[in-house]
């Protein structure tokens, strides 16, 4: 961890409400990790990786889509190094479209840039990028654009109960 991140177990009471809620959810689910506050925003995978001193691939970014047939939220947790292929997502859950900031806030309870893999206002259909399984340590948003927590891919699967699938956009020659 770089010096720009502060372990939240030292300052639980000073966490933003949304990050404190995530910290409590993690404890309830038996996760030993702590919420870390980044000095700079973690809204993008590159920003989060820079603040943590890890690779962009280790950022488990949460991307929310809107399923067209029923307006259900669809959460894709992908490696920060990957772009998500909407056609691959659609093959698993049905046709999807982009979600605007209002939809994200209403369905997750979090702002864009801080969407946590758990604790949503409306339980989403969730998919996990298979590329995350090749990484030993991951960082995911903890309910606030400056808040993250560390976990393994196995812990991510256990916390979400989501299937692991190929959602990465692969460039073909």
Instruction: Give the separation between CA 50 and CA 44, rounded to whole angstroms.
Output: 10
For residues 118 and 25, is the Cβ–Cβ distance under 8 A?
Answer: yes
Asked whether residue 173 is assigned to any structural domain, the reply reads no
**Range of weakest confidence among 35-49, 86-100, 109-123, 130-144:** 35-49
Instruction: Give the separation between CA 154 and CA 166, rounded to whole angstroms.
Output: 16
What are the E-state strand segments in the chain?
5-7, 35-38, 59-67, 73-79, 96-98, 125-129, 138-141, 147-151, 164-165
Residue 62: give the domain boundaries.
5-165
pLDDT digits 0-9 by tens, 109-152: 999 999 999 999 999 999 999 999 999 899 999 999 999 999 99
Confidence of residue 5 (pLDDT cuts 50, 70, 90): low
- Nearest one of 130, 136, 145, 152 to 32, comparing CA atoms: 152
Asked whether residue 122 is assigned to any structural domain, the reply reads yes
In CATH, what number is assigned to the domain containing residue 153? 3.90.960.10
State the CB neighbour count (10 A cutoff) for residue 50: 16
Instruction: Give the separation between CA 25 and CA 12, rounded to whole angstroms.
Output: 13
Cα torsion angle, 51, 55, 60, 61, sign: positive
Asked whether residue 50 is assigned to any structural domain, the reply reads yes
The predicted model gives 100-110 an average pLDDT of: 97
Instruction: Give the separation between CA 140 and CA 37, rounded to whole angstroms.
Output: 12
What pTM did the predictor assign? 0.91
| Mean pLDDT, all residues of the chain | 91
Asked whether residue 39 is assigned to any structural domain, the reply reads yes
pLDDT digits 0-9 by tens, 52-78: 999 999 999 999 999 999 999 999 999
How many separate domains does the chain show? 1
What local confidence, expressed as pLDDT, does residue 4 receive? 46
Per-residue pLDDT for 11 more than 90?
no
Asked whether residue 171 is assigned to any structural domain, the reply reads no
């Amino acid at each position: 961890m770089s010096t720009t991140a502060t372990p939240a177990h030292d300052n639980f009471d000073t966490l933003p409400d949304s990050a404190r809620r995530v910290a409590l959810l993690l404890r309830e689910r038996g996760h030993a990790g702590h919420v870390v506050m980044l000095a700079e925003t973690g809204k993008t995978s590159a920003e989060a990786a820079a603040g943590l001193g890890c690779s962009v691939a280790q950022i488990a970014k949460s991307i929310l889509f809107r399923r067209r047939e029923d307006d259900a939220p669809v959460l894709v947790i992908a490696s920060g190094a990957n772009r998500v292929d909407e056609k691959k997502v659609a093959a698993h859950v049905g046709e999807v479209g982009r979600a605007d900031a209002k939809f994200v806030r209403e369905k997750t309870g979090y702002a864009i840039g801080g969407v946590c893999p758990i604790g949503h206002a409306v339980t989403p259909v969730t998919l996990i990028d298979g590329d995350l399984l090749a990484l030993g340590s991951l960082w995911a948003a903890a309910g606030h654009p400056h808040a993250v927590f560390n976990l393994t891919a196995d812990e991510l699967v256990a916390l979400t109960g989501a299937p692991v699938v190929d959602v990465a956009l692969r460039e073909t020659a």
